Structure 1
Amino acid sequence: MRDKWFEMIVGAFAVGVLVSSYLPLSFGVALFFLSVALGLLLLGVLSSLRNKILFLVVPLCLTAFVGGVARYQLTSQPSPILGQYADKQVIVEGVIASEPDARGTGTFLTVKLNSLSDSNKKIPLSDTVRVSADPYPEFNYGDRVRVSGKLQMPENFETDTGRIFDYQSYLAKDGIYYEIYLPKITLLESGSGNPVVSYLLTFKSAFLSAANQVIPEPESGLLAGLLLGEKHSLAEDLNEAFRRSGLVHIVVLSGYNLTIVAYAIMRFFGWFSRFLPLFAPPLAGALGIMTFTIMAGASATAVRAAIMALLVIFAKVLGRNYDIKRALFLAGFVMVSHNPRILAFDPSFQLSFLATVGLVYLSPFFEKWFRRLPQWFGMREIVAATFATQIFVLARLVDLSGVVSIVGVFANIIVLPFIPMTMLFGALAGFAAFLHPLIAAPFAYAAYALLHYQISVASFLGNLPLATVSVPAMPLWALGASYLVLALIMYRLYHKNGPKFSQPTLKQPGS
């Protein structure tokens, strides 16, 4: 019962954040809710009603709702100093604070500013801007640069499916309120970033170069997305095929990817559990997730995705539902409290959280329904996890993309069981290539075969005439209603069968 109260209170906090994200509430409204909460609490204390617990939980939920509203309104706002120079030519200096986002026609740089030049004087700043630069010359993380160009606010835009993408809020979640388009950039010095991050990014670049020597394109591009979260490692037409086939989540190191991969890694090592200690499969899964996250640069998005995936490991170790549910809601509460904007404006966090919720709440039911499936390579758990995550992310994914992949579930079932082996052989091929291409050859051939299979599946299914169905834009209330219905279905399932279901423990494959 206490877990349900905790979930309701955290849920009320999240609702407060969401409401405030789209509808700023005044101090008077917040005061009204607090007054109602206090009145109910006093009524519960003074009355002779037997069921007084409601008079405690409801006030706590109302207070948590107000707390969510207040927390969102305390988020960072655009700098008033920098705002004075909007739509003007500026000269600013700063350090490139993350790995450059290189694309076909240009590169996006995230620059942490430290000064702005105005009339022969330098004004100190601590803002972050997004710079759209030419692909050449190349710049790196930690470079201190001088940027000369027009400072402007980001503009929302219409996507190919007719949806308006809230680009301003998407950048604001990372504290970015202004951008500079195609400015003049001068390199002042290198090596001004965090030395640990610099080393990791250098190693990542060397690893990808080594892997490219032994695995050709486009297979090496897919491996870069699988292992290190390279966002634009595939050609546009192939990336579109992965999107239409419902497999695009494996191309980047997102939470949607990691939650599935965490499940699959443990099943892969569980195959050898008779030769390994009991803690080996979950430990291998946790170490694998942390390694991939660090090598990908340990960005805020990747770290949040890794936390969601590590909770799956936590569930497998404990083997009990209520512990992982509590940990899941606590992790979500901490992350949203730290940065409230991610709840409404960070698709990666949303899909990560929803996929993990699906694994925690729905996987046990699907494993029961698919109990006739064989356990070869963890097939039963992979299929159950695929259905569970697909159901929970479907509404939000459709809302974001505007399409439903008809072949997505089937594509995931025939591809995901091979992801752990692909990552294993791909990583071994890259590391062995540091020594000599001949040493890497056996691993590279195995990785190539698996990668080629996945690309073939995505290309074939993604290019089918009815692979996807376009859907109109979903109103916010419809999106909320779809998840409310899903929550009610989950409540009925657990109310009817809850005591008989728990997180599945690691089993010997084939048992």
Structure 2
Amino acid sequence: MRRSWLLAKIHPTWHFTAACLGVVIGVWSARWVPHTGGLTWLFTSGLLTLLWAMRPRRFMLAAALIGGVCLGVWRGSATQESVAMYDALYGKHVQIRGHIADDVETNNRGQAVAKLARVTLDARSLPGDLWVTVAAGQTVLRRSDVMTLDGRLQPGFGSFTASMTGATLVKVEREQPGDVALMVRDDFAEHVRKAIEEPAASLGIGYLLGQKSALPPHLVEALTVAGLTHIVVASGYNLTILVRLARRAFARVSKYLATLSGGVLIVGFIAMTGASPSMVRAGLVASLSMLAWYYGRKFHPVTLLALVAAATVLVNPSYAWGNLGWELSFAAFAGVMIVAPLLQAYFYGNEKPRLVPQILGETISAQLATAPIILVAFGQFSNIAILSNLIILPFIPLAMLLTFIAGLGSYALPAAAPIIGWPAEFVLRGMVAVVEWCASVPWAQSEVVFPWWGAVVWYGLIAAACWYVKWRTRYRLYEASIVE
């Protein structure tokens, strides 16, 4: 019986899923694997892939997984070898040049904090991204600006290959025509501010455009304590709302128009917010889901999760080496697309839950999936996150729509902008009040010392619970979709 079960044919997508998971494991483990035998890893991966492709039996899942691991180790080792050139530069005073990759933020010392990509030193390209802090001066730094910095190069952290703190800003260049999408975003944000007063305006801009850097510091702190930071950063949540609205608005006209509009929104949103790890993940997931819907197909969430994770780490292996944004994005996605549907099937059966129970289930699932990462990284946990999300999330699509209308009204009728923006301001001010109240509760946040092995146990328990609920309910995860 056991032998026949192992020899049974299964759909090749499960072998593909195992291979993708293996790629992620391989890239992650490449830091501890000797950087030798690169072609051997690649050849072994190709051979094992050929084997499972020719015989898609259940026992070949192991071959697919190992083949993926070999491919991941090959890719990760190649990157590790390239960043080894930094070893000779750490501790030295150097002058570097690089492009600002994300919105510039300000730390508690008043310094500008930036992520540099496409870094060069003496006309020689350096791999990876750098984390830098610069004394804030008269020069306004924006995404896509080219900075020349002078300072001492130090080892990096997380997915950053190196860092430079307290650097001296030598020169700033702004390429022409520059970042057009950024200019469109910032211009629209300015028109929103003409129609809506602060801090409501910045909150609405955060919802609609994912621009967190413009929020007042006290509101950022309140959002963090209340467990609501994810709603004002460029994330899959904002993008999912836009793609769902586009699909529902144009699906009655034609599938082609709905898919095209969704694709334009995805590209435009990422162009305006920047290609952060969470946005890259969200864009790939939304794009693949829209294409599957267009062709009348569905992705299994586990396959979609594994495919996008493998694709992102193959392009940028550093995501797997401590990028919290990447980790939290995938954890939240797994919670919403795997844990939440199973919980709903367990409690509601074949009935679709109403809005409030659905939001509650998705919020709890996302919290369960991301909590171990947050606890290990920050040692903090928002006790009031479920309540705050339950109150705020149902009104976010309305707030985004009203903010968009306020911005358009400010262009069309500048004199009447405050009147056009009043509905948005009313809703947003109510949200600000809720956020500040949630953050002011004495027990809103707890500090917890949580070891890494605790996270392993936590995820093991979640996996076991998901298996049990799936076995009990016979729910098909293929039914879950982020675009429907």
Class of the TM-score when normalised by the shorter of the 2 chains? 0.7 to 0.9
- Work out which of the residue numbers 455, 466, 470 in structure 2 matches 1:494: 470
Give the structure 1 partner of residue 438 of structure 2.
461
Distance 1:146 1:507 in 2: 43
- Work out which of the residue numbers 86, 93, 104 in structure 2 matches 1:101: 104
Q: Is this contact kept in 1: 2:342–2:470, CA < 8 A?
A: no
Q: Is this contact kept in 1: 2:17–2:303, CA < 8 A?
A: yes
Q: Which amino acid aligns with 1:423?
A: M
* Cα offset, 1:412, TM superposition: 1.0
* Cα offset, 1:420, TM superposition: 1.0
Give the structure 2 partner of residue 157 of structure 1.
none
Distance 1:87 1:4 in 2: 47
* Cα offset, 1:337, TM superposition: 1.6
Q: Is this contact kept in 2: 1:101–1:107, CA < 8 A?
A: yes
1:216 aligns with 2:197: yes
- The 1:145–1:262 alpha-carbon spacing in structure 2 relative to 1, beyond 3 Å, is closer
1:480 aligns with 2:456: yes
Distance 1:275 1:31 in 2: 52
* Cα offset, 1:183, TM superposition: 0.8
* 1:148-163 alignment, distance < 5 Å: 149-154=150-155
Give the structure 2 partner of residue 5 of structure 1.
15
* 1:30-45 alignment, distance < 5 Å: none
Q: Is this contact kept in 1: 2:192–2:406, CA < 8 A?
A: yes
The C-alpha deviation readout for 1:190-231, integer Å capped at 9, x for no partner, is 326xx4x61111222211211112211111221232222223
- The 1:220–1:60 alpha-carbon spacing in structure 2 relative to 1, beyond 3 Å, is same
* Cα offset, 1:85, TM superposition: 4.9
Distance 1:361 1:421 in 2: 27
* 1:372-451 alignment, distance < 5 Å: 375=354, 378-451=355-428
Query: SS of the residue aligned with 1:362?
Result: helix
Distance 1:95 1:11 in 2: 33
Q: Is this contact kept in 2: 1:263–1:312, CA < 8 A?
A: no
Give the structure 1 partner of residue 229 of structure 2.
248
- The 1:169–1:356 alpha-carbon spacing in structure 2 relative to 1, beyond 3 Å, is closer
Taking structure 2 as the reference length, what is the TM-score of the superposition? 0.80
Query: SS of the residue aligned with 1:182?
Result: strand
The C-alpha deviation readout for 1:119-146, integer Å capped at 9, x for no partner, is xxxx544556544222222244454554
Q: Which amino acid aligns with 1:107?
A: A
Distance 2:253 2:359 in 1: 22
Q: Is this contact kept in 2: 1:200–1:295, CA < 8 A?
A: yes
1:59 aligns with 2:63: yes
Give the structure 2 partner of residue 330 of structure 1.
307
Distance 2:275 2:165 in 1: 25
Distance 1:325 1:199 in 2: 36
1:170 aligns with 2:159: yes
Give the structure 2 partner of residue 120 of structure 1.
none
Structure 2 gap segments, 5+ residues each? 1-9
Q: Is this contact kept in 2: 1:373–1:379, CA < 8 A?
A: no
Distance 2:17 2:457 in 1: 19
1:182 aligns with 2:158: no
Distance 1:4 1:100 in 2: 39
* Cα offset, 1:78, TM superposition: 6.1
Q: Which amino acid aligns with 2:18?
A: M
Give the structure 2 partner of residue 262 of structure 1.
240
Distance 2:258 2:356 in 1: 16
Taking structure 1 as the reference length, what is the TM-score of the superposition? 0.76
Give the structure 2 partner of residue 163 of structure 1.
none
Q: Is this contact kept in 2: 1:359–1:385, CA < 8 A?
A: yes
Distance 1:38 1:284 in 2: 41
Query: SS of the residue aligned with 2:164?
Result: strand
Query: SS of the residue aligned with 2:361?
Result: helix
Q: Is this contact kept in 1: 2:281–2:330, CA < 8 A?
A: no
Query: SS of the residue aligned with 2:317?
Result: coil
Indicate the RMSD between aligned Cα atoms, in angstroms: 4.1
